[in-house]
Structure 1
Amino acid sequence: MTSTRARFQGNGEITFEQVTLGDVAEGEVRLRVDVCALCGSDKRLLHSGATVVPGHEIGGTVVGGALPAGTRGIVYIPVFCGTCVRCAAGRTNQCLHLSQLIGWQRDGGFAEHVDVPARCVLPVPDDIPLSVAVLGLDTVGTAAHALRLALRTQDTVDRLLVVGAGPLGLGVVAVARAMGIAVDAVDPNPARLETATALGATPAGDLSAENQYDVVVEVSGADAARATAQRVIRPGGTVVALGESNEPYTMPATPRWRRTDCYTVRSFYFPVDEMAANWDLLRVMGGPLRDLIVRPLTLPELPEAFARFVAGDHVKPCIVSADADVVSEVTR
């Protein structure tokens, strides 16, 4: 079997190579990649280059290996051990022996096929399209897990603020609204803020004043966004730090901050034991979310997809297989 895959050379250059695939390793599964969504974190690999094939929001169909052929699945990116005490408790995102992420330390989904450990394939229910299921990874799964952690710290939440309406921020908006939580949102990109509004958020008002929100979810990683989150949180409130950045996360050395009780929650991905609840969320809001944010493109169009993604023209480009039914599922 031959397969095409993308290589990130650095400085924004993407090339393609044709490879001959060998046998599937024991305990692994070969997937035909039917959909692989672009993520903001992939921009770092686009700039720096990668020794593996990037792409970590993967949905596909089993064509060989340890699961029945034809199984539809999404790929859980942390390669968890499955045996440590955290994995045994279902908290696979907290695996004590985690050393690899699919698309980061081993080959990912910007390819026609990908081999992954069988335990990292999450079978998709028959009633959920793959184009919706793939949003259950970073966009909805990570958002839902972060909100569940935040809600543990609060008796009630009148409103929460989402700072940054990129793909993950929009996932937070959609999940929060599905949970019945009122949401304000802020983003410097008018189109993204408009999308957040379409998902049920209210554009935030003046954010210069302190003590406005019980929960603030900061999703951009920018220093200014972090400062906003720390300013508008109420005493006793919760700042959820979801945004990724190469800059250190710092707390302000001000009298007001020193005199404020506050939770700071850092969340990484989601555990597999939350997947049943996430499927239920996707049944409620996955289709409308997909139709608002997803833009389907094919693997040869990956350089264009990233160019439009970086420019802010596309919210959530997804590379889809011409051999799958995913294209017909997605509103262009």
Structure 2
Amino acid sequence: MQKTMNAVVYYAPNDVRIEQVPIPDCGDGEIRVKVDACAVCGSDLKAYRFGNPRIKPPLVIGHEFTGIVETIGKHVDGFLLGDRVVMAVAVSCGACYYCRQGWPNLCAESAVMGFGYPGGMAKYVTIPAKAVRNGHVVKVPQSIAPEYAALAESVGCVVNAMENCQVRENDTVVVIGAGTMGMINACAAREFGAKKVILVNRSETRLQRAKLFGFDLLVHSDTQDVAPTILELTGGVGADVVIATAPAADTQELALELVRKRGTVCLYASLAVGQHILSLDSRKIHYGEVRVVGTSDCTARQVEKAVSLLVDRKIPAEKLVTNILPLDQVLRAFELMQRGEALRVVLKP
């Protein structure tokens, strides 16, 4: 076996390099995966552009990976060589208050693959013993293509959002942002029972692309007055749930203008450090009894649900993955995403 591999290594904002690095060892309790595909997440792009305090460089990045179990460490049960796997990538301690409550994604000691641990933009990735022991590794049927299986973590995060928002039958859901996560949230809301899903975006190209997913209630925020339009589409009431998926403060502030009384606003996208302070109308929250919720990462159970949604094509991965590139074109992937010319870009080692 070779001793080195190509990997995408983060050094600083706007400094990501393709380097030869040692193939990671596989110790007791660990699993080494031969990576087939790693999707490029918006959080990867954000870290590339603005940095991320969780990353201690130099570090191999990438968390939306899938691959084949290539080596199994001692004391690991339940996996066989050749199993295809994905992960709930926020690795939990299994012992803190949040883990004991069944919220491992909120673990006080959490470290995320590709942010705290070496990630999957490489030929091999080793899954830490803590992640294996605490059930973060999820098997995937061989029937699903690797480039689609790589979306399981993203879809798992959206399942978490649907549960936190408590999307119900016959709800009207507004999704602000028609990028990858906006489209996954819209598709998931429909699957969770929403009767009406309205997409808001400033890009005409992205709104037209949304029609390919079966959505036709589209609001162009650059040419339409969004709040009155949403009121008109909801009979003057407002939306039951508003999900802000675009990572911008004005998007999250807009969400509060679109929700009905006793409705729910979900701040799905994390804002970059230094750009994360909002100006919100607290009187509307108070007098309207509006719920404002966050959503962060996902659990293994939610990743399992995501795999099911992908296998059953309830989330149309073939429409979400717009570009498949070799690993050494990661900067091209960032460029396509930054210009809004791609939804999900998948890298193949």
Query: TM bucket by the smaller chain?
Result: 0.7 to 0.9
Give the length in aligned residue pairs. Answer: 317
Partner of 2:60: helix, strand, or coil?
coil
Check 1:68–1:166 CA distance in 2 against 1; reply closer, same or farther (3 A cut): same
2:176 corresponds to 1:163: yes
2:317 corresponds to 1:289: yes
Moved more, 296-305 or 187-196: 187-196
User: What CA deviation, in whole Å up to 9, does each residue of 1:247-277 have, x standing for no partner?
Assistant: 3353524654542110111111222223443
Moved more, 223-232 or 42-51: 42-51
Q: Report if the CA contact (8 A) 1:73-1:121 is conserved.
A: yes
Where does residue 45 of structure 2 map in the other structure?
A: 43
Check 1:90–1:133 CA distance in 2 against 1; reply closer, same or farther (3 A cut): farther
Distance in 2 of aligned mates of 1:287 and 1:213? 23
* Counterparts of residues 1-332 of structure 1 (less than 5 Å): 1-21=3-23, 23-48=25-50, 50-66=57-73, 67-84=79-96, 86-87=98-99, 90-98=102-110, 100-117=111-128, 119=132, 120-138=136-154, 140-151=155-166, 157-181=170-194, 182-201=196-215, 202-204=217-219, 206-209=225-228, 211-246=237-272, 247-253=275-281, 255-285=283-313, 288-321=316-349
Distance in 2 of aligned mates of 1:22 and 1:102? 14
Q: Report if the CA contact (8 A) 1:174-1:285 is conserved.
A: no
Distance in 2 of aligned mates of 1:86 and 1:11? 31
Check 1:73–1:9 CA distance in 2 against 1; reply closer, same or farther (3 A cut): same
User: What CA deviation, in whole Å up to 9, does each residue of 1:23-54 have, x standing for no partner?
Assistant: 31221111111111111111233135642111
The residue type paired with residue 40 of structure 1 is G
Moved more, 11-20 or 258-267: 11-20
Partner of 1:208: helix, strand, or coil?
helix
User: What CA deviation, in whole Å up to 9, does each residue of 1:169-212 have, x standing for no partner?
Assistant: 11101111222312100111222222223223220374233642
Distance in 2 of aligned mates of 1:81 and 1:37? 26
Distance in 2 of aligned mates of 1:141 and 1:93? 11
Distance in 1 of aligned mates of 2:342 and 2:98? 37
Q: Report if the CA contact (8 A) 2:86-2:137 is conserved.
A: yes
Distance in 1 of aligned mates of 2:159 and 2:301? 12
Moved more, 1-10 or 81-90: 81-90
Check 1:19–1:254 CA distance in 2 against 1; reply closer, same or farther (3 A cut): closer
Distance in 2 of aligned mates of 1:13 and 1:271? 31
Distance in 1 of aligned mates of 2:255 and 2:178? 14
Unaligned runs of 5+ in 2: 52-56, 74-78, 232-236
Q: Report if the CA contact (8 A) 1:24-1:30 is conserved.
A: yes
The residue type paired with residue 241 of structure 2 is V
The residue type paired with residue 83 of structure 2 is T
Cα distance, 1:71 vs. partner? 1.5
Distance in 2 of aligned mates of 1:272 and 1:163? 27
Where does residue 330 of structure 1 map in the other structure?
A: none
Unaligned runs of 5+ in 1: 322-332
Distance in 2 of aligned mates of 1:256 and 1:111? 47
TM superposition score normalised by structure 2: 0.82
Q: Report if the CA contact (8 A) 1:309-1:315 is conserved.
A: yes
Percent identity of equivalent pairs: 26
Moved more, 117-126 or 70-79: 117-126
Distance in 2 of aligned mates of 1:194 and 1:12? 31
TM superposition score normalised by structure 1: 0.86
Check 1:20–1:252 CA distance in 2 against 1; reply closer, same or farther (3 A cut): closer
Partner of 2:241: helix, strand, or coil?
strand
Partner of 1:3: helix, strand, or coil?
strand
Distance in 2 of aligned mates of 1:77 and 1:267? 15
Partner of 1:285: helix, strand, or coil?
coil
Q: Report if the CA contact (8 A) 2:121-2:327 is conserved.
A: yes
Distance in 2 of aligned mates of 1:306 and 1:177? 29
Check 1:17–1:280 CA distance in 2 against 1; reply closer, same or farther (3 A cut): closer
